[in-house]
Amino acid sequence: MSESSLKHFSLFEGVPHDALSALETAAQPRDLSGGDRLIERGNDATTLQFVLSGRLRVANAAGVTVAHIEAGEVVGELAFFADGKRTADVFAMRDTQVLEITREDFERISADHPALTHVMLRLVSQRLVAATARSGAVVKTVPRVIAVLPAGDSKMPDGLLDRLADAIRKAEPSGPGVATMASEGSAPGDYLGWLAEREHEGAYVLADASGAEEWGRAVCRNADALLMVATPHAASPQPSALETAAMDWIEPEDRTLLLLRDAASVEITGSRAWIDARAAKLHHHVALDRDEDFAKVGRFLTGNAVGLVLAGGGALGAAHLGVIKGLQEAGIPYDFIGGTSAGAAMGGAIAQGLSVAEVLDQMEAMFIEAKAMKRLTIPVHALLDHRTFDHELSTRYGSKDIADQPHLFFGISTNLSTNSLHIHRSGPLWECVRASGSLPTILPPFIDADGNILVDGGVLDNIPVRVIRQLKTGPNIIAALGDPTAEWRVDAEYSDVRGPGALLRDLLLRRKPEKKIPSIVETMSNSMVVASRMLVKEMDSPDDAVLEIPLIPGMGIMDWDQGRELAEMARLHVLQQAQGEGPLTRFVA
C-alpha cells in the first residue's frame, strides 16, 4: 500500500494528515480478484471499506446489479454506522484493493480526530439524500477502464486508440482526460501501478490488449469494460482465446463490439454472427473514413450518447420525420433510435441511411399512391387486407437484418404468445416494422419464425423510454405526439351510435352522420396510448427532453395526405425548442 493512499479520496479533502495516517495504520489492506465477494447480504456490518483501486458491483437479493463502486469511494457506510445488517452483496468486478477497518478501530481513531466523524456524517447524509431522490432506481457508473482487443482473428488498426481517445475528449471536453496504453507498453506488473495512478486521477483508460497472452490477460482482467474490434478483413467471427477468457470476467452489459469497415460506401453484412458470439450489449458500425462514427462511439463510451424515442400514432408519425430533420438542422446528434408502430417505421427507415426527403416520398408512395391501408377484406382475421401493406414494407425495408443497418435501432411489438414486450434488435427490418404496426383488429397479427404472435407495440408501450434506458446510459430525446394532458371528447351521446340499418343507409348515400362517433380505428388507437400518455406525464429524468409535437387539428391516424405538412410543423417546433431556454439547447453540438 502506498503512503497516504487515502489522500486521493475527495471525501477526505481538508482532513489533517495525521488523521489519515492513523486510519491507514489501523486499517488492513485486502486484495480481491474479479468475482470475489467483499460483502455478503445479511451479515453484521462490523467493518468499513475504502476502495483504493479496482471496481465493485452491488447486487440485490435477486442478483441484479444495482450500483457500481469505483476507486476513491467507500463501501457499506450506511449499515456500518447504523450498526445494522448488510442489505446487499458486493463483488469485485476485477482485481481490486480495499482498506478495511473495524468499528472498534474507527471509533478509537475518530475520538482522537473528530474531523473523521464530521466527514463520515457528511457522506452518510449525502448517501441518504441520493437514495431518497433515486427512489429505488438503478445507479450504474460509466466504465472508465476499457480493454481494447481484436475480435476473432482481426488485427488492431494503426492509430485506433488515438482516434478513440480523441472521440472521448470531444464527448467530454471538460472531463478528467484520457490515458492510453499501447500493446505491451509495459510489464504487466508495471501496468497495474500505472493504472492505479490513472484511476486516482479519474481518467478514462484505453488499453490495447493485443500482443502476448500474459499482457492481454493482465489488461482484460483489470478492465471495467471490453471494446472488441472486428476489422474489415477478418475471416471468422469465432472469439479468440483471450476474448473467451475476458468474457468470463466482464458481464455482457459492459461488452461493446466495433464493426469496422474501410469506407462508409462498403455494404454491411453478417453482423449478427459477430454480435451473438460475444453477447455484446451494444455494437457500432464504424467506417474508417467517417469521423462522425468515431464521435458517436466516444459519446457511448462516456455515457453521453443521445437516444431518440419515437411514439406510435399512424399517419401522425410523419411528425417524427420533421423532428429528425429539425435535429439535423440544429446540429443535435442522435445515436440510437427506438420506436413503436409508426415510430418504428420512421426510425427504421432513417436507420437504413435514408434521408428525411426520401422517407417522406416513400411514405406517400405507400399510403397515398398504393393505398396500403385502405383495402378492406372479409373481417375474419382483420378489417384490412394486409397483402399490399406487406408488399410495400418488404420492398422498401427489405430483409436485411436490423443489426446490419448503419445506425443503431430497435422496434417494439407486443408478444401475445409470451404476454410480454418484444424488443426487435435483430431479424429482417421489414418484419420488425410490420409487427410493431399490427394494430389489433385492423391488421392481422404478424407471426414470426418462432411462432410468436405479434401485434402493435402500442398495446404495452407506445413510447419505449424504459427500453432505451435499459439499453444505454445518457440522455434521450422523446418525441410524443400531441399534448399528453389533452382530453379526447366528442359532442355526442351514447344513443347517437347508429344501428346496422342506419349505417348501411348512410354508407349507400355517402352521408356523414349528424354527430361524430369514434370509429373502430380511433377507439383502438386511443385505447393503446393511454398508459404511455400517463407515463409521459410522470417522466422526471433530468437527462431527458420530452417534445410534445403539435398536431394538425382534426388530423387522424389514417390521414397520410397531411403527413408532409405535419412534418414541416414538427421541424419548426424542434428548431424553436433548440433556441433560447428550450429543452433541446443543451443537446446542440
Q: Does the annotation mark 532 as catalytic?
A: no
Which cell goes with 151? 475480435
Phi, then psi, of 203 in degrees rounded to 5: -75, 155
For 421-462, the pLDDT digits (tens) are 999 999 999 999 999 999 888 899 999 999 999 999 999 999
Beta-carbon contacts of 280 under 8 Å, excluding residues fewer than 6 positions away, are 228, 252, 255, 256, 257
Residues 5, 99: contact at Cβ < 8 Å? yes
CA distance linking residue 199 with residue 210, whole number of Å? 22
Provide the phi-psi class of 53: left if phi over 0, else alpha when psi is between -120 and 50, else beta.
beta
Clarify whether 496 is annotated catalytic.
no
The answer to whether residue 259 scores a pLDDT higher than 50 is yes
Q: What is the pLDDT of residue 498?
A: 85
Q: What is the pLDDT of residue 255?
A: 97
Predicted confidence at residue 343, as pLDDT, reads 96
- Enumerate residues 6+ apart whose C-beta is below 8 A from 42: 85, 86
Mean pLDDT value across residues 156-167 = 95
Calculate the alpha carbon distances from 496 to 331, 487, 499, 500, 526 in Å.
Answer: 51, 20, 9, 13, 20
**Separation CA 109–CA 111 (nearest Å):** 5
Distance between CA 432 and CA 457 in Å, rounded?
Answer: 10
Q: What is the pLDDT of residues 292-315, one digit of tens each?
A: 999 999 999 999 999 999 999 999
Q: Exactly one of 341, 413, 436, 438 is catalytic; which is it?
A: 341
Write down how long the chain is.
589
What is the three-class DSSP state of 423?
strand
282 strand-pairing partners: 256
Segment 378-389, tens digit of pLDDT: 888 988 899 999
In whole angstroms, what is the distance from residue 6 CA to residue 21 CA?
9
The pLDDT, as a whole number, for residue 102 is 93
The answer on pLDDT for 217 being more than 80 is yes
Q: Please compute the mean of the pLDDT values over residues 10-20 and round it to a whole number.
A: 85
Q: What is the pLDDT of residues 70-101, one digit of tens each?
A: 888 889 888 888 888 999 999 999 889 999 99
Q: What are phi and psi of 438, to 5 degrees?
A: -80, 80
Q: Which letter, b or e, does each residue of 304-313 get, where b requires 16 or more Cβ atoms within 10 Å of its Cβ?
A: bbbbbbbbbb
- Give me the catalytic one of 95, 254, 456, 461: 456
Please, what are the domains in the chain? 10-134 (2.60.120.10), 145-302 (3.40.50), 307-488+496-587 (3.40.1090.10)
CA distance 320 to 342: 9
* Beta strands at 47-53 and 178-181: parallel, antiparallel or unpaired: unpaired
Amino acid 140: pLDDT: 64
Separation between Cα atoms, residue 219 and residue 323, nearest integer Å: 43
Q: What is the mean pLDDT of residues 65-72?
A: 88
Q: Take residue 446 and report the three cell numbers written for it.
A: 404478424
